[in-house]
Amino acid sequence: MPPKAGPAARRGAVTGYMFKLIRESVPASQERLAAHLGIDRATVQSWESGRRPFTSVGFGQAIAVRHKLIQLGADAQLLSMLDEAAEADYLLELIIDADPATLDVDQHPLGWTVLTHSLTEMLAWAVIGQEPARLQGHYRPAHRRGPSPSAPSLESTEARAFFDNLHVIADRTGQRDSTNMLLHRQACFLASLDLTGRTADWLSSTRRSTFPSTFHGWSPMWPDARSIATSLAKHGDPQPLRDFIARAHPDDACELAGLNYSAYWVGDVRHRQHHDTFMPDPALSWRGGRLLRHLVERLDADHPFVDLNIHSLWALLTARQHLAQDEPHLGTELLRRAAEVLDTDMISPQSRRELTSILYGLRMSGVREPGTGR
């Protein structure tokens, strides 16, 4: 049975803030929108504040509200983010409000489906105030009278509980033979959003107890080790991630797993996955344009995942050489960024070899830097 969260959802801060942005994109006041929906202003206000979460609204009414917002001209991209906002509120409730020491880990929602980049951004927005990339420059904040929150932020005690509870959940599921490896790795990854320094030591300890010294092929421990290594890189230690790149790709299945997961993470894979076993699946269908764009935009020597981004680019363009030709502006931008990164000393020797290979392949295929003829 799913964990019990009471008769109705108790958290709605992320959904409420998204609803406010959607309303303002119409644009419409709370009074005007309430009139269009046939409800009172206090109801709209309670949805936006999270006091009476929109996630508690009946399914049919929620669909009707969305259709009315579409009719009124609400921003389509903001509307498309409402489902992930609701899922973020659901996860926040189960992570913060449930006792991590006694909950049934077999029924925790973090172990039910594989997180995506866009959903993780929604969680980070609430927990640490980091605005989702899809929102940056996409909307113009409305002028409001008096002080108004600029994000769906948690109270400091709630944010602390979020991280503390994730530590407990991860510690309870960290055994190498655990059947809850997905829950463990996602708890570790979300815990890495805490940049206070306290989580870095805990992640290092977790890595020592769960990270195999070598991989002979893909297993459920492979994505677990990858998540912990990327989390440590986020906290300023790139070596575990470099070790993972060098030692955890002994065969084509592991290379494919990295590409499939990255494609899923950025939204190139259409459907949500319920378990990490999709990663080495050669039949998984995706094109790669969105993944190429994501990696090119993050090809920066200062990015904590720069070595992983380079390896992923190398593997992607090795497997799908046509992508740079299909997206010529991305190929040109990749050339420019690759040359800049190669001028630094902030990447590993393996990354330097792979990035040099990418550069050579692009030039051989006819991609040129603008204005240089090279």
- Is the confidence at residue 233, as pLDDT, over 70? yes
CA atoms within 13 A on the CB side of 344: 16
Q: Is residue 20 part of a domain?
A: yes
pLDDT band at 175 (very low <50, low <70, confident <90, very high): confident
Give 108-166 as a DSSP string: -GGGTS---HHHHHHHHHHHH----TTTTTT--PPP-SS---SS-PPPHHHHHHHHHHH
Give the CATH number, domain containing residue 69: 1.10.260.40
Largest CA distance in the chain: 66
**Global pTM?**
0.92
Residue 339: inside a domain:
no
Q: Is residue 256 part of a domain?
A: no
How many independent structural domains does the chain possess?
A: 1
Instruction: Give pLDDT, residue 197.
Output: 82
Whether the Cβ atoms of residue 192 and residue 235 lie closer than 8 Å to each other = yes
- Asked, for residue 204, whether it belongs to a domain, the answer is no
37-47 tens-digit pLDDT: 999 999 999 99
Q: Is residue 124 part of a domain?
A: no
Is 320 domain-assigned?
Answer: no
Would you say residue 76 lies in a domain? yes
214 pLDDT band, cuts 50/70/90, is confident
> 49 lies in which domain range?
1-88
